[in-house]
Amino acid sequence: QVQLVQSGGGLVQPGGSLTLSCAASGSTVSIFGMRWYRQAPGKQRDLVAAITPVGFTNYADSLKGRFAISRDNAKNTVYLQMNSLKPEDTAVYYCNMHTPTRDYWGQGTQVTVSS
């Protein structure tokens, strides 16, 4: 049984930074593509960042230079480093493991950017 357990998030002031973590069990994050999505109230769930098994990364155009996805194979964990946060980054963030048979999702983590 694959489980993705997220941690991090919370309330941060504009311009601040946060790091989200996604710890996997039942599978290995280095084998499959791992992604972060976010969903703001009343909006669809959008792709934020992705990392391939060989380590290539990809980002939503609007987030390039501010967000960074990384992976620690020893900890079987994927991270999302978020810098220079803006109020429009407020959303629930989800990690995702994309396998050939199905996608697995973390429980979601609220990130609120507000003064």
* Residue 95 near residue 35 (C-beta atoms within 8 A): yes
Q: How many residues would you count in the chain?
A: 115
- Sequential pLDDT tens for the chain (115 residues): 999 999 999 999 999 999 999 999 999 999 999 999 999 999 999 999 999 999 999 999 989 899 999 999 999 999 999 999 999 999 999 999 999 999 999 999 999 999 9
What totals of helices (H) and strands (E) does the chain contain, helices first?
0, 11
Strand 18-25, strand 3-7: pairing = antiparallel
DSSP 19-67: EEEEEEESS-TTTSEEEEEEE-TTS-EEEEEEE-TT--EEE-GGGTTTE
